[in-house]
Amino acid sequence: MKSIILSLFFSVLAWAEVPEHLYLKEAPPVQLPNSARYMVYLETSENPVGKRSPRPFWIEHLEIPLASLQEDIGLKMDPRVRESMIFENAEGVKMVRWILNPEDSKYANEIIEKMSEKGLNLEKKRYFIGYSTSSRSCIVQDPKTGTTFSIKSSTNQTAGNWNDKKETVRAARAGRLMNDHIERDRKSGHNTALGIVNEPLAYYMPEVDQGIIIRQYDHFLKANQDTKLVPVFAFIHRARFYASKAGYDVSQPGATQEFIEKTLAKSGGIASAELFMHYGIIYNSPHGQNFLVEVDKNEKPTGKLYARDYADSHLYEPIFKKSSAGRATLAHYRTFTSGSNEIVSENFRLIFGPYHNGTRTKPGWVVDEDVLINSFRNAVNERIETTLKLSNPSANISNLNGTVNSYWGASYNLEENKDLKEWIKDPVYTARAARLRTVAPADRVRSEIKPPQARPVVRSCKVLLAGA
């Protein structure tokens, strides 16, 4: 029997630093959107295990001919993001701004050396304005248009427990495939608590096995956006602040815990269930950087919990294999040699640890942790049962306390949950089953990889997902 742990935790961070010479000496030419500015502050200043500078800096890039790269365009990409990444030079050649991690001292040189072998001399250029986060990803802004997004690229130095975080082609491609697997069936109202941060664009250079992947925050791109996103680590760190914004008297014992019970514990349970039931995704490392609480203009939680970096997950095979995008994702993940991304087909366990940091220390406002555990477990069970009852009104399931160490848990044994087992095995099931079994048109693969133009053109530069 395979059991999978779904957990949110904080890691003890060893901070790398942006070189001082890259920081802007004066105000940037455009201001960040309010939602992005808010996130930069939280990412850099409200992580309980370390702080980084929120100052803007020049985030350097290499200008590489689009024809020398593979471009992977997915669903729901805002065209403004791609327009920031690509430009035409004086000779009319389309060039990609390959954005570099500001702390890297290794991987950019690999690209420069490889392109030099091809007779192309590259040098680092400055165009975008960058902002640090609590991880290796950077928030990036186009200084001319104001378009703001996030980028993940290779670095041998970063915040976190890792000394080297190369963004391989395989890893970047995993993010793109997972994104399209989710977006293929995601409709308005489909998820009640779960929000998704898209990863709709990537560029690959197979010669050096490197990729860059763009993370698109719709909160940054929408005009007059009132809602903002709070990383879970910051939400826990500032729990009393957010509880007071919601009207709780945080001077009273148990008030902050009650707030977390009714917000994060509940939305965490629902979102975990929706990730599993709708998409077959079980995070293997859903720490406090990988989830974000949405708050309104008054900084009160809306009930939405957004997931990002979901490529770092286990795949539940019975759900993934029922769509073409899912099958392509399974095939790709089977090429991984690491055991950190399992393909699971039997029993599963969902575990949630929003304040699980390096010391596993509970916040001081926790009075009775069992209350929080039960809130999470009940929310998971109720959301799964609600989905089952759309096709089987008499469906009934139960979970076991799957708590491990400091993680809250909900464990499911399929032999003891026959209704859930039958639902998973339903041959016509896809994520559309949650919408009263509406049968959609035949599967269509809309994601495309555009190969280098110097290579043979296949189907007007489109390559099927399974063949990528």
Chain length of the chain: 468
Please say whether the beta carbons of 432 and 439 come within 8 A: yes
Average pLDDT, the chain: 85
Q: Quick one: pLDDT at residue 225?
A: 85
Tell me how far the alpha carbon of residue 31 is from its chain's centroid: 25
Statement: residue 441 has pLDDT above 70? no
Q: Quick one: pLDDT at residue 349?
A: 86
List the 408-412 sheet strands across, edge first: 348-352, 408-412, 400-401
Q: Mean pLDDT throughout 89-109?
A: 97
Statement: residue 435 has pLDDT above 90? no
Q: Quick one: pLDDT at residue 270?
A: 97
Tell me the two tokens of residue 34.
């309010």
d(CA 271, CA 353): 14
Q: Which residues of 383-398 are buried (b: 16+ CB within 10 A; e: fewer)?
A: bbbebbeebeeebebe
Q: Mean pLDDT throughout 135-142?
A: 95
For 370: left if phi > 0, alpha if psi spans -120 to 50, otherwise beta; the answer is alpha
First to last CA, the chain: 32
Please say whether the beta carbons of 408 and 376 come within 8 A: yes
Q: Quick one: pLDDT at residue 97?
A: 98
pLDDT tens-digit readout, 237-289: 999 999 999 999 999 999 999 999 999 999 999 999 999 999 999 987 767 78
Q: Mean pLDDT throughout 215-231?
A: 92
Q: Quick one: pLDDT at residue 45?
A: 93
Q: Quick one: pLDDT at residue 395?
A: 94
d(CA 31, CA 171): 32
Letter for the amino acid at 311? Answer: A
**What pLDDT band is residue 460 in, cutting at 50, 70 and 90?**
very low
Statement: residue 231 has pLDDT above 80? yes
pLDDT tens-digit readout, 324-369: 899 999 999 999 877 778 899 889 988 787 876 554 678 999 999 9
**What pLDDT band is residue 15 in, cutting at 50, 70 and 90?**
low
Residue 161 or residue 126, greater confidence: 126
pLDDT tens-digit readout, 294-320: 999 999 999 999 999 888 789 999 999
Statement: residue 466 has pLDDT above 70? no
